[in-house]
Chain A
Amino acid sequence: MQVKDPALLRRMYRSLFRIRRVEEEISVVYPSDRIQSPIHLSIGQEAVSVGVCEALEPGDAVFGTYRSHGYYLAKGGDLKGMVAELYGKAMGVAKGKAGSMHLIDLPHGVMAASAVVATTIPQAVGFAYACRQQRRKAVVVSFFGDGAVEEGAFHESVNFAALKQLPVLFVCENNLYAILSAQKSRQALDNLPERVRAYGMPAERVEGNDLFRIYDWTREAAERIRAGQGGPAFLECRTYRWRDHVGPGEDFHLGYRTRDEAQPWMDGDQVARVAALLNPEDRQRIEREVEAEVREAFAFAEESPFPDHEELYTDVFKEAGGGALG
């Protein structure tokens, strides 16, 4: 466990706190209708994004889901461009064509996000194939939820990744619900790692949203791949979504789950856990800097113009064509 490394702890806390504060700010702004597009908050689940991404290199790539803010920010995605994108502004990372559900940032290795469950899993595998074929050393991470493991694309992807021994890590963020449907109402057995091992790759579970265990597993798996000694691997991270499936609020009034169920997860909040491990000076400095950065990003989004209507028709095709011959 890396708790002894103070620099890493500070990095982790900055990343965790930043995701938490950005999303809290989104939920404050959201009722004003200045963000007119669905948002899926990862408040409560930040440890998965941070634990994995802190163990990656800048040249590594992540593929994810519509619950995108956590891993997008943890991997280094541009904050101003993200908030402006949520606002639908021209300075957004995709000029207002992506919104929250399709955030990417290529320079930082955030490669894809999709509103259709499980669709980026094979993309991650194909990207890993391309990396290996071109002798690039990158590790590729596929983030997805517990619903995605029910999709055929997941099984097709892990089969091919194992067959070709590709440099890809499958990270399942199991928050126990697909929208409002509990995992136990959708899957006969609660044994994901066992199922995935049958395809021919190591697979483990981390309980309790444990940031450090997630980090350790990822670092070891990534190191094996970088050393040329490992292929794909699978990690199930037990975690818990504090807010509604979609939208800014809580949803305990809906009755499909209870606050009592959520309470142990809130008590085990990883943001607070790491905060308590820092010396107060470091903590306050990090929080001050993050707060300023968040204010600046939202101000940037507020002030940015909307895209011109001509923008509607751009980016359908890449026009140049011709590959190497031009």
Chain B
Amino acid sequence: MSRAISYAEALREAIEQEMARDPLVILMGLGVDDCKGIYGTTLGLVKRFGPERVFDTPLAEDGMTGIAVGAALGGLRPVHVHIRMDFLMLAMNQIVNIAAKSRYMSGGAVSVPLVIRSIIGRSWGQGGQHSQGLYSFFMHVPGLKVFAPTTPYDAKGCLVQAIRDDNPVLFVEHRLLHHQKGPVPEGLYTAPFGKARILEAGSDVTLVGISYMAVECLRACAYLKQKGISAEVIDPVSLSPLDTDTLVQSVRKTGRLLVVDCGWMTCGAGAEIVARAVERLQGEREIRVQRMGFAPVTCPTTRSLEEHFYPTACTIASRAHGMVHEGRGDWLPSVEKPLEAVEFKGPF
């Protein structure tokens, strides 16, 4: 498995191979058939599969999501793409009130095999409405599954799994991950729901990084090594269902859990992960827990403020260092490693 391709290329390959395998898969969304092809993730697909299976949509997130649900009820397997996760707020009614509940409210008579791809748009001052990681909204609702893979390998495996799943799946991508390269098999394979990935084994502290924050956690892990601290880095991959067992096993070993969210902390995915760890380990093992995430404000555009809005490898390492040393001796690594410094090596 020596071939390395980008996360974006892995997504494109997953869709293309699934569309070739299953004629019921369709791809829809504003811009899926244009010359940019959603950051390259849908390029060339309209040429190969035709405009009936790959089509542009009106700017109608609510209606088009309902149309995707209806198409799913009619036997198709739609993949609906949103270039920003923020736009899903216009589709909440169909996702939460319809897609999530159709099976239950029909007593199991229908199912909604639907994939909703959306991209968290951090980069170049994207501001308050192009940067939000709102996946916790969907984790809250029974009947929805949520994938937020970090590695190119999981990007492909999870998207194939999402397309084959007979239920509505929110597939969350981070814009900064699209460029990341890593080993990806050429053939089809699936990554399971409810299975976290241990990106780095360690013994002193468990760092759980969601989506792109897993990359920052890997960098933090490298800083911490310089201070003799061994961090275990876990990528949940599947946010709903969550792999509580893998998380708890790690925290049982390290006794320290730092969850780094790609969203706000209040009622967030990190809060859920911490709660599960505490529920399972209380009375069995003394543990320390901390959360990091977006600053509790709207994301600003100016770089001078934006750089304080997000957790970084340095602030994560500093927080983890504080946990290990029980708050004694502040420490902040001085140099940020460039993005390219973290590569996904595999094998997975």
**Which of B53, B65, B78, B113 touches A122 (beta carbons < 8 Å)?**
B65
A92–B106 Cα distance when bound, in Å, is: 10
Chain B residues positioned under 8 Å from A323 (CB to CB)? 22, 24, 77, 113, 163-164, 166
For this complex, into which size category does the number of interface residues on chain B fall? Answer: 35 or more
Which one of A20-28, A45-53, A154-162 is at the interface?
A154-162
Is B70 a contact of A125 with CB atoms below 8 Å? yes
Which one of A36-44, A130-138, A218-226, A237-245 is at the interface?
A130-138
Counting CB contacts under 8 A, is B243 at the interface?
no
On whether A127 and B142 interact (CB within 8 A), knowing A133-B26, A160-B67, the answer reads no
Is B110 a contact of A106 with CB atoms below 8 Å? yes
Counting CB contacts under 8 A, is A315 at the interface?
yes
For this complex, into which size category does the number of interface residues on chain A fall? Answer: 35 or more
Interface residues in B58-89 by Cβ distance below 8 A to A read 58, 60, 62-78
Chain B residues positioned under 8 Å from A94 (CB to CB)? 105-107, 109
Which one of B94-102, B123-131, B261-269, B321-329 is at the interface?
B94-102
A127–B75 Cα distance when bound, in Å, is: 8
Task: Give the total number of A-B pairs whose CB atoms are below 8 A apart.
Answer: 167
Is A160 a contact of B58 with CB atoms below 8 Å? yes
Chain B residues positioned under 8 Å from A63 (CB to CB)? 70
Is B67 a contact of A122 with CB atoms below 8 Å? yes
A324–B60 Cα distance when bound, in Å, is: 31
On whether A114 and B63 interact (CB within 8 A), knowing A321-B165, A322-B164, the answer reads no
Is B107 a contact of A153 with CB atoms below 8 Å? no
Min CB distance, A42 to chain B, in Å? Answer: 20
Is B107 a contact of A95 with CB atoms below 8 Å? yes
**Which of A104, A116, A160, A320 touches B97 (beta carbons < 8 Å)?**
A116
Interface centre among B74, B98, B110 (most CB of A within 10 A): B74
Chain B residues positioned under 8 Å from A123 (CB to CB)? 66-67, 69-70, 73, 98
Counting CB contacts under 8 A, is A205 at the interface?
no
Is B107 a contact of A119 with CB atoms below 8 Å? no
A128–B74 Cα distance when bound, in Å, is: 8
When C-beta atoms are compared, the residue in chain B nearest to A151 turns out to be: B62
Chain B residues positioned under 8 Å from A116 (CB to CB)? 93, 97-98
On whether A316 and B105 interact (CB within 8 A), knowing A123-B66, A129-B71, A324-B22, the answer reads no
When C-beta atoms are compared, the residue in chain A nearest to B57 turns out to be: A160
Min CB distance, A121 to chain B, in Å? Answer: 7
On whether A106 and B109 interact (CB within 8 A), knowing A122-B64, A317-B167, A318-B167, the answer reads yes
Chain A residues positioned under 8 Å from B94 (CB to CB)? 119, 122
Q: Which residues of A does B touch, CB under 8 Å?
A: 63, 92-98, 102, 104, 106, 111-112, 114, 116, 119-131, 133-134, 152-153, 155-157, 159-160, 163, 314-318, 320-325
Interface CB pairs A-B, < 8 A, 10: A116-B97, A121-B63, A122-B69, A126-B78, A129-B74, A129-B76, A152-B60, A160-B67, A315-B108, A325-B21
Q: Which residues of B does A touch, CB under 8 Å?
A: 21-22, 24, 26, 52-53, 57-58, 60, 62-78, 93-94, 97-98, 102-111, 113, 142-143, 145, 163-167
